[in-house]
Structure 1
Amino acid sequence: MENTTDTPDAAARVEEHHSGDRVLDTGALRALAHPLRVRIYDILSQYGPQTASSLAEKLGESSGSTSYHLRALAKQDLIQEISDRGTGRERWWERPAGGVSFANPDAMKTPAGRAATQIVMNEFFQNRHDQLMAFIHGGLSGSAEQWQDGSMISTATARLTPEQSKELSVKIMALIDDAVDNYRNQTGEDVRPVTIRADVFPLPELGG
């Protein structure tokens, strides 16, 4: 069997796979820097196309509010309308395919860019944390057995150099890319959206 995580090969594949990722500029970050817009963007990313009405139901908002925020996101091409689906009164929206990076070094050079980036990152990861805690508190006991067996919450600590940390990150990213490419549009009775998280970062130095 081919070793898909061989480091040189994996690094090349990861670089090629993400070479077209969109790095959000300050304008896009500022458009996204609103708690409700981050949640809308996240739902479109995780669950697929939605209408203003379906988003309003999921978020406990009015369809007028979600419609307004959808248009604001669309102005920065963060989302797009599905032109051949729905009607003039019931428009469907989706997030364009492809990776997106919130980390823009140029945006971080300005106060507005730093503030927008912080809002987006805080909201994005708070949403992810809330989903994790909801699964821990309810999903572990409420999920079907096959989902309990197919889920993983794990943390570990290793002592690495920066180069070793990069090597590990590349291997993990290659595995995630393969899963996304192979199953992005899969449908079926037992198919559900599955969030995949990977955190690799140095711990702060202990004081004292």
Structure 2
Amino acid sequence: MTDGMPEMSSLERTALYKSLGNPLRRRILDYLGRHGEANSTVLARELGESSGTTSYHLRKLAEQRLIEEIPEKSGGRERWWRGLPFRHTTPDPATMSPEEYAAAEQLALLKIEADTRLFRRAHEEYRGPEGWAQVQRSGTWMTKENLHAFVRAYHELLDLYGHTREDAPEGARHVNLRFYAAPEPVGEWNGEPTGP
């Protein structure tokens, strides 16, 4: 399910994962996230592509409701774009078609590479508990219901403390946050179960 949006079909999710896995589209989304808005000419110059290429990918991103045109800045052939808020929860892989699963897996591998770089940067840039870079690692016992409630609370905290680019107070910076939770593997140790 895509949070705040209608339920997506397997075909729509497959297209979404392929789009998010496209290197140029990822760079366009990153640029819009950092700078707020751009047109195909600006993106072509900044990303080293032709304006025809960036224009094509902008239209594709708009079709998937990842970006939108800025009507008050657009006119004639010049169209300006901005990113849209987006949050997506990937469904159970067992419910995916083979093509959807392959696209989701490819996107996940790209995310893991990016997240590994972010993890290293957070450690390198850590300047104590009052700095911008923060690293927290925890472990605790939870039921599945506890974990699901925790994830909902995590999203509520993001909504409570986070801001859109337009509403961010002075001094705010874009901060990359990641959340992972995985139970210990199910197995046995000395004949005793180690998982649920």
TM-score (normalised: structure 1)? 0.66
Q: Percent identity?
A: 29
Counterpart AA for 1:20:
G
Could you tell me whether the CA contact under 8 Å between 1:49 and 1:95 is conserved in 2?
Answer: yes
RMSD, aligned α-carbons = 3.5
Structure 1 counterpart of 2:61, which letter?
L
- 2:172 is paired with a residue of what secondary structure? coil
The counterpart of 1:154, out of the listed 127, 132, 136, is 136
Aligned to 1:77: 65
In the alignment of these two chains, the number of paired residues is 183
Q: 2:154 aligned to 172, 180, 199, which one?
A: 172
1:94 aligned counterpart, secondary structure: strand
Out of 24, 27, 44, the position equivalent to 1:36 is 24
Gaps spanning 5+ residues in structure 1: where?
1-17
Match of 1:96 in 2: 84
CA 107–57 in structure 1, closer or farther in 2 if over 3 Å, else same: farther
Q: Which residue of the other structure, out of 35, 38, 50, is the alignment partner of 1:50? A: 38
Contact 2:19 2:61 in 1 (8 A): yes
Going from structure 1 to structure 2, the CA distance change for 1:63 and 1:165 (only over 3 Å counts) comes to same
Q: Quick one: structure 1 residues 50 and 112, their matched pair in 2 at CA, closer, same or farther if it must change by over 3 Å? A: same
User: 96, 109, 127: which one pairs with 2:114?
Assistant: 127
Match of 2:145 in 1: 163
User: 5+ residue gaps in structure 2?
Assistant: 190-196
The higher relative CO (CA closer than 8 Å, separation ≥ 6) is in 1
Q: Deviations over 1:77-133 (max 9, x none)?
A: 332211211454543212233x43151459953222112222333334433443443
CA separation in 2, counterparts of 1:101 and 1:175? 17
| Partner amino acid, structure 2, of 1:130 | R
SS in 2 for 1:80: strand
What's the CA shift for 1:190? 1.9
SS of residue paired to 2:81: strand
Contact 2:122 2:135 in 1 (8 A): no
Once the two structures are TM-superposed, the CA of residue 43 in structure 1 deviates from its matched residue by 4.1
Per-residue deviation, residues 17-74 of structure 1 (Å, max 9, x unmatched): x862455542342444423223433443465323334444554444443222212222
1:167 positional shift: 2.8
Measured at CA, do residues 69 and 177 of structure 1 come closer, stay the same or move farther in structure 2, by a change above 3 Å?
same
- AA in 2 matched with 1:81: E
